[in-house]
Amino acid sequence: MLFNSVEFLIFFVVVFCLYWLLANKIALQNILLLIASYFFYGWWDWRFLSLIFISSVLDFFVGMLLGRTEHLPIRKILISVSITFQLGLLGFFKYFNFFIDSFVQAFDSVGITLNIQTLNVILPVGISFYTFQTMSYTLDVYNRKIKSTDDFISFMAFVSFFPQLVAGPIERARNLLPQFGVKREFSYEKAVDGMRQILWGFFKKIAVADVCAEQVNIIFANSAHLHGSHLIMGGIFFAFQIYGDFSGYSDIAVGTARLFGFNLMRNFANPYFARDIAEFWRRWHISLTTWFRDYLYIPLGGSKHGMVKSVRNTFLVFVISGFWHGANWTFIAWGMINAVYFIPLLVTGQNRKNLDVAAADRIFPSLKEMMQITLTFFLTVIAWIFFRANNLSHAFAYLKNIFTSEFFNVPVNTDFWASLPAVLIMIAFEWMNRKREHGLCLDPVKSRGLRWAIYYLVFFVLIFLGSYDKTEFIYFQF
């Protein structure tokens, strides 16, 4: 079920009304959320409900058993069962054909033909998100960072919570699971802010991402015949498409959860205002980057065992992060490129230099900050070209065609420039609110009339400049 659909609007209204009619009845609210979440997920394909059910049940009982034994060998067996099952599930549905095809191609390159059949494996929506979410629970219980739960319904609802089920944020049990065990009270202030964030998320998805996608699809499909100026704009449009699409989903998810009395973690913090790649990765897909930090980078030794191992661990995290995104060498290349960007900052000790927002005490950035932001954005655009390309050959050809003598030819297609107004509005609002949770935080605006004027402005821009083809969110494929 898509957020940007009439079906979701009806679903949301019904669930919201029933949920608050059950106020003060936590157990019934949790049952309702569990049923609603399974209905929401099953809307795509009811057959995959069995996967999320089995995944959740397994880790519930693994966590419960971990909480009842201190015997280390048994604990290791239990956590191994959890990790093996979850990664095996993810590996089969997401990477089976990729490994088979790569294996066959490797033998073909040396003149040996193998006749190995691939399977018609359908990728379940959101599998990368809910497997990581439930795995973080068993890992935290194993590492004694949290206590296991005996509340089956709460745990099942935690794994399947519909606002963030299919594209994150990837919530930690230590944050979200306890919220299912306490009374939720309706807060008018939180609801208003939740509605603002939902509106802002729809603006970024429909008016920015979907409109940019129209040009991105045309440019990448015809990259061999276009000028370099078109191609660099195609990369820029994709940068805003994927940001508007993914962060827009996160805004809708966080805002929707707030209407039900839940607080989800922030998943994006204006990454395109970053002044270096390290800052970019502290601000982009925060729930995933912190997941890899806590469950991969630190267990590998982090930065406590010398620079060589720190570099190794960093490189592995970026490559695996790329691989997490999908079964294509372009994603792995994207991860490796970002590692190459990041590692020099790590080696020189500059990776934690920019911890505050740009122009923290000023309206506009300094010339130095502006140059840093521009360079960082340019580097991310180059990496995004690999992410968007069909294959590595396409990516390299695309980059080669950018830097030609026709690089400075200005595109004259009016449809090409029609994507820019909403992008510029998004940039302006997010710059003004770069210290706040989302781009439509209007608490500092004291005039109620001005606040409503801004809401109407965003709404009408959304209506008149938006694309209404009900396109899926990009990260549904991951």
12-38 pLDDT, tens digit per residue, is: 999 999 999 998 899 999 999 999 999
Lowest mean pLDDT among 213-217, 264-268, 280-284, 332-336: 213-217
Q: Which DSSP string do the residues of 356-417 spell out, in sequence order?
A: SPTTTTSSS--HHHHHHHHHHHHHHHHHHHHHHSSSHHHHHHHHHHHSSTTTTPPP--HHHH
Measured CA distances, 54 to 65, 160, 366 (Å): 17, 12, 53
Q: Which of 155, 185, 215 is the last residue of a domain?
A: 185
Give 168's pLDDT tier (boundaries 50, 70, 90): confident
| Average pLDDT of the residues in 275-287 | 95
Residue 447 lies in a domain: yes
Residue 149 lies in a domain: yes
Residue 59 lies in a domain: yes
Q: What is the mean pLDDT of the chain?
A: 87
Whether 428 shows a pLDDT value over 80: the answer reads: yes
Residue 371 lies in a domain: yes
Give the pLDDT score at 328: 84
In terms of domains, do 11 and 28 share one?
yes
In terms of domains, do 119 and 195 share one?
no
Name the catalytic one among 227, 285, 325, 438: 325
Whether 200 contacts 251, CB under 8 Å: yes
Give 415's pLDDT tier (boundaries 50, 70, 90): low
Whether 242 shows a pLDDT value over 90: the answer reads: yes
Whether 307 contacts 347, CB under 8 Å: yes
Over pLDDT 70: what percentage of the chain?
A: 89
Give the pLDDT score at 91: 82
Whether 454 shows a pLDDT value over 70: the answer reads: yes
Residue 378 lies in a domain: yes
Q: Which of 185, 207, 227 is the last residue of a domain?
A: 185
Lowest mean pLDDT among 155-164, 239-248, 419-428: 419-428
Residue 123 lies in a domain: yes
The number of distinct structural domains making up the chain is 2
Please confirm, yes or no, whether 438 is among the known catalytic residues. Answer: no
Give the pLDDT score at 452: 86
pLDDT digits 0-9 by tens, 181-227: 999 989 998 999 999 999 999 999 988 998 899 889 999 998 888 88
In terms of domains, do 40 and 132 share one?
yes
Give the pLDDT score at 441: 85
Q: Which of 138, 168, 185 is the last residue of a domain?
A: 185
Whether 324 shows a pLDDT value over 90: the answer reads: no
Could you give the CA distance from residue 25 to residue 18 in angstroms, rounded to a whole number? 12
Domain encompassing residue 65: 6-185
In terms of domains, do 14 and 109 share one?
yes
In terms of domains, do 233 and 360 share one?
yes
Q: Which DSSP string do the residues of 235-284 spell out, in sequence order?
A: HHHHHHHHHHHHHHHHHHHHHHHHHTT--PPP--S-GGG-SSHHHHHHHS
